[in-house]
Structure 1
Amino acid sequence: MYVSTFHDVIEWTRALHEHLTRCLKHCSTQQEEERAKWLLEYLADHEEALKKIVAGFEKRADPKVLNTWLYDYLSYAPIKPHLSCSAPYAEMSFDEICQEVFDLHERIIGLYRYLEGRTEIPETRELIGELLKLEEHEAMRLFHQTNRSRDL
């Protein structure tokens, strides 16, 4: 997907979470380690919820903000959605799955931070700031939840 407007950024993020949901669900059916299987199911549910929240941004954001062009902002290399499933989650350990998903979320957060620092229009900065807060909060929540499950 070519990203040229803030609407595209939101759509790209939604599609990435959707793709990750499908990949995690699919791999959970093939995972043999019980704890890793549970993790894949949990992460798939979490990504599905994130997909819906991000889609809500498209519906409630000002169309003028959504249609604002990014121009030179994307010298930052966007993350390709298909990369999120390049690792065989079904064959990964609990810790490897966590690391892969955390890395993906950190790359999304990095993109949002980059965009937030580059945008000059207050409304677009606010939109990206909200998306950034959402991703940071959800990444932190995932981190804490998965750490708790390590103790089980």
Structure 2
Amino acid sequence: MKIETFHDLIDWTRRLHGHLAECLKHCATRQEESRAKWLLEYLADHEATMEQTVAGFEKQADPKALHTWVYDYLSHSPITPHQACRSPYAEMSFDDICGEIFALHDQVLELYRYLEGRAEIPEARDLVRELLKLEEHESMRLAQQINRAREI
């Protein structure tokens, strides 16, 4: 998907979370280790919720921000949503799954931080900042839940 506007960015993020949710759900059905299976199911639910939450940004965001062009995106390394499902989550360990998921989320956070500093209008900057806060908060929450599961 080519990202040209901030609306495209939100749509791309929504699709990324949705695609990841489907992939994790599918891999959970093939995972044999119980703790890793639980993790995949939990992550699939989390990503599906994130897909819905990000979709809300499309409906609530300032139209001026949504239609603003993302000029600098092309100079940033794109994250391919399909990259996530090439990883054989069904065959990975609990820790390997965590590493893959956090690496993907870190790339999204890096992209948002990059774009926040380059947004041309305050409305677009505020929009990216809100998306960044959401992703940061959810990454922290995810890390806490996973750390609790590790202790079990």
Fold equivalence (TM over 0.5): yes
Q: CA deviation at 1:55?
A: 0.2
Corresponding residue for residue 78 of structure 2: 78
SS in 2 for 1:81: coil
Query: In structure 1, what is the Cα distance between the partners aligned to 2:20 and 2:84?
Result: 6
Map of 1:106 onto structure 2: 106
CA RMSD of aligned residues (A): 0.7
For structure 1, which runs of at least 5 residues remain unmatched after alignment? none
State the partner residue of 2:136.
136
Offset, 1:23: 0.1
Q: Secondary structure at the match of 1:23?
A: helix
What is the TM-score of this pair, normalised by structure 1?
A: 0.98
TM-score, normalization: structure 2?
0.98
Identity of aligned residues (%): 67
Task: In structure 2, list runs of 5 or more residues that go unmatched.
Answer: none
Q: Report 1:117-132 matches (<5 A).
A: 117-132=117-132
Counterpart AA for 1:140: M
Matches within 5 A, 1:1-152: 1-152=1-152
TM-superposed CA distance for 1:142, in Å, is 0.6
Give the C-alpha shift of residue 86 in structure 1.
1.4
Q: For residues 74 and 114 of structure 2, what CA distance do their matches in structure 1 show?
A: 9
Look up the SS of the partner of 2:97 in the other structure: helix
Q: Detail structure 1 runs of 4+ shifted over 6 Å in the superposition.
A: none
Give the aligned length: 152
Deviation at 1:72, TM superposition (A): 2.9
